[in-house]
Homo-oligomer: A and B are copies of this chain.
Amino acid sequence: MPKLGMEPIRKDALVKATIVEIGRVGSLDVTVSQIAKRAGMSSALAHHYFGSKEDMFLAAMRHVMTLYGAEVRGALAAAEGPEGRVRAILRASFSAGNFRRDVVGAWLNFWVLAQSVPEAKRLLAVYQGRLRSNLVVALRPLAGARAPEIAASLGALIDGLYLREVLKSGPADGAAAVAVALRHLDAELSLKS
């Protein structure tokens, strides 16, 4: 009994299942069947909605980035003052929704994919550009001409903290990561030269 309008529902389920399965297996070597099974459908249907496994994963990462972007915008709107804005970005980056084991694992695999798949590289560049731009704007009133270089090191530090999360056992500790990033920020801001 095929109900109509299934497409968005199925796609959404597949996108979520993709993240979960990649997180579970720890690599892109998940079969489409595994993903489809977790999403409650046949692999043929998954191929019907997304042309290929790669499309599926790219859609999943677009989804992750969209959620992150929305969270940043929300936090930014509620933030007060320049420093509040930087803190808002950092907090969003390590929020419970984004800083999850499976999501971090997906990011890591996405990074690998960006080395060989142009579309992944493009997406990653867009994401990095947005993060950088957000940081620079927020830092400008605090650091003036040094805003770009601080944004660069903060960005790298964020990526590094994500990376380190992968190795840890136990639940993700976003608060600790935020603390490290904030201290870096304070330290950089206290540098007068």
Residues of chain A whose beta carbon lies under 8 Å from any beta carbon of chain B: 25-27, 105, 108-109, 111-116, 121, 124-125, 128, 149, 152-153, 155-161, 163-164, 166-167, 180, 183-184, 186-188, 190-191
Please name the residue on chain B nearest to A116 by beta carbon.
B26
The answer on a CB contact under 8 Å between A121 and B187 is no
The answer on a CB contact under 8 Å between B188 and A184 is yes
Oligomeric state, in copies: 2
Given contacts A26-B116, A184-B184, contact A121 B167 (CB under 8 A): yes
Please name the residue on chain B nearest to A109 by beta carbon.
B112
A169 to chain B minimum Cβ distance, whole angstroms, is: 9
Among A105, A114, A184, find the residue whose CB has the most chain B CB atoms closer than 10 A: A184
A46 to chain B minimum Cβ distance, whole angstroms, is: 21
